[in-house]
Structure 1
Amino acid sequence: MSTNVVAGIHPHGRLAGKNAIITGAAGGIGLETTILFLREGASVLMCDISEPALAKTLSKVMEMTTYVSGRVDTARCDVSNEEDVKACVEKVDEWGGVDVMFNNAGIMHGDDADATATPEKIWDLTMNINVKGVWFGSKHAVLSLRKHNKQRGSIINTASVVALVGSATPQLAYTASKGAVLALTRELAIVHAREGFRFNALCPAPLNTPLLQDWLGDDKEKRHRREVHFPMGRFGEAIEQAQAVVFLASDESTFVNATDFVVDGGMSKAYVTPEGAPTSAPQNLGK
């Protein structure tokens, strides 16, 4: 489905005229980023493995972005399949080529455990989506940028704060995959720096998103083991990550490259967390 909503004026947003691909766009960080990108003047191809979820999400996006100057479209994409990723990038080639690639799709499987209990099939599944998917997205974004003779490009890869600090509650395949994303992102940033293509890794803390909340479920101890470490007394929200992605995608961040862009409410810097009531969280736009 393709939707082109025009406000009747030239776009003046922070991402005006940029074409963006967002994977994992049907919820969480991907959904919030889609809304903000459109509000800032970008055109967005929303990619996700679930077509029903994309259709539902597109309705939410249209409600929250009534007056925008860019276009929005959806495409089913299994990021572990290179042909799917290539097809999405080629779709945006029809718009003038990719300017921003947000490799956000990821998985945290409920059977992910420690070194002795993680099934090999869960390890392979996690690596295929979380690492290979980022590689494919980065590869085809670079090819598109070159094809259209772009002088600037921003590729943002979703890693995690667990790539920087160890977790005593095991999620081995996920943690290892996100560490790989950091290394991959840094290398690509240096390799392509002279082409003007920036690569940065977003490192969120645990968030109030369906991915994590479904994984935590009703396990109060597992949930408390995470919540207790937040200096601000709460999980982060997807929109707080999306705001960071807008900055990394924009020309405001032209000298920001190869960073582990940590958005964790201070969690990874805390020794002892403060006491008292938690801070209030911002409202996500896609709810």
Structure 2
Amino acid sequence: MQVKDKIVIVTGAGSGIGAATAKHFAKHQAKVVVSDIKKEKAQKIVDDIKANGGESVVITANVAKFDEVEQLIIKTVEQFGRLDVIVNNAGIGPKNMAKTGEYTLEDWDSVIAVNQTGVFYCMKLALQQMMKQGGGNIVNIASLAGLKASLNNLSYSASKFAVVGMTKSAALEYATKNIRINAVCPGYTESALLDKLLSVRPDMDQMLKSVIPMKRYGLAEEIAEAVVWLASENTKFITGQTITLDGGTSL
């Protein structure tokens, strides 16, 4: 995939899909900014990339804080001179899954702040930089929960539906500006969020697999391949799309 020497930011890159995506970009010779709220986790990913001959740095940021996202973009441009790609992956789930009438204000506010407002902050500031330099590419990590109903998971579902909408709206706005914006919608994928769910409800494992035609969870590396492909020069005529990677679940 054609991403050699592209300057790439991946948010929430300390683990899961974000970490796999950062490593996959580096494998294809992009220069990767590994951003995460936890510096130690991000540094481990950078160390791994460097050990395999790649170029990578850590810039910590809480995407729910505008000033920290602003510094993420500024520091990236100061170090590398431009920003070619941003992957808006940082995301969280609620502490408690509950029906809408019993949903806590804390879970609503915290999830929306990271998953929806955080993506807006990253898109807003990345787009400003990309307009200055004459182009760029944004890949947002949405979810199958942003395409279909998700029980007892209101804030997460709302935030991911929002990411799909923001992706399409912004893609339309910037289609003539050499800026492409797409999203990937993973289904049930091996990740910290899934681990958290299964730790609370171990009985969910077989139930979830029973609704996946492939009878298995996705791998973070499989999602990463789609992200890097969308960010590459191989997909110049693709914008405003949501690519669903769910083992057939949506069928």
What are structure 1's unaligned runs of at least 5 residues? 1-12, 270-287
In structure 2, distance between residues paired with 1:187 and 1:171:
24
Q: How does 1:88-103 map to 2 (within 5 A)?
A: 88-94=72-78, 95-103=80-88
In structure 2, distance between residues paired with 1:67 and 1:50:
23
In structure 1, distance between residues paired with 2:44 and 2:68:
21
- Residue in 1 aligned with 2:163? 181
In structure 1, distance between residues paired with 2:218 and 2:16:
11
TM-score, structure 1 normalization: 0.84
Contact kept, 8 Å, 2:50 with 2:56, in 1: the verdict is no
Deviates more, 1:36-45 or 1:224-233: 224-233
Contact kept, 8 Å, 2:7 with 2:85, in 1: the verdict is yes
Q: Report the alpha carbon displacement of residue 89 of structure 1 after superposing the two structures with TM.
A: 0.8
The structure with the largest helix share of the pair is 2
- Residue in 1 aligned with 2:38? 50
Q: Secondary structure of the residue that 1:48 maps to in structure 2?
A: coil
Q: Deviations over 1:54-89 (max 9, x none)?
A: 2233333334xx233xx3100111001111111111
- Residue in 1 aligned with 2:182? 200
Q: For this pair of structures, how many residues does the alignment match?
A: 250
Structure 1 position 172 matched with structure 2 position 148: no
1:87 to 53, 71, 79: 71
Contact kept, 8 Å, 1:112 with 1:173, in 2: the verdict is no
- Residue in 2 aligned with 1:215? 197
Q: Report the alpha carbon displacement of residue 106 of structure 1 after superposing the two structures with TM.
A: 0.2
In structure 1, distance between residues paired with 2:5 and 2:226:
19
- After TM superposition, the runs of 4+ consecutive aligned structure 1 residues lying more than 2 A away are 55-63, 220-225
Q: Report the alpha carbon displacement of residue 104 of structure 1 after superposing the two structures with TM.
A: 0.4
Q: Report the alpha carbon displacement of residue 218 of structure 1 after superposing the two structures with TM.
A: 4.9
- Residue in 2 aligned with 1:8? none
Bigger-Rg structure (1/2): 1
Q: How does 1:51-90 map to 2 (within 5 A)?
A: 51-63=39-51, 66-68=52-54, 71-90=55-74
Q: How does 1:237-248 map to 2 (within 5 A)?
A: 237-248=219-230
Q: Report the alpha carbon displacement of residue 164 of structure 1 after superposing the two structures with TM.
A: 1.2
Structure 1 position 109 matched with structure 2 position 94: yes
In structure 1, distance between residues paired with 2:191 and 2:96:
19
2:26 to 34, 38, 49: 38
Structure 1 residue identity aligned to 2:164: L
- Residue in 2 aligned with 1:122? 107
Q: CA RMSD in A?
A: 1.4
- Residue in 2 aligned with 1:155? 138
Identity of aligned residues (%): 32
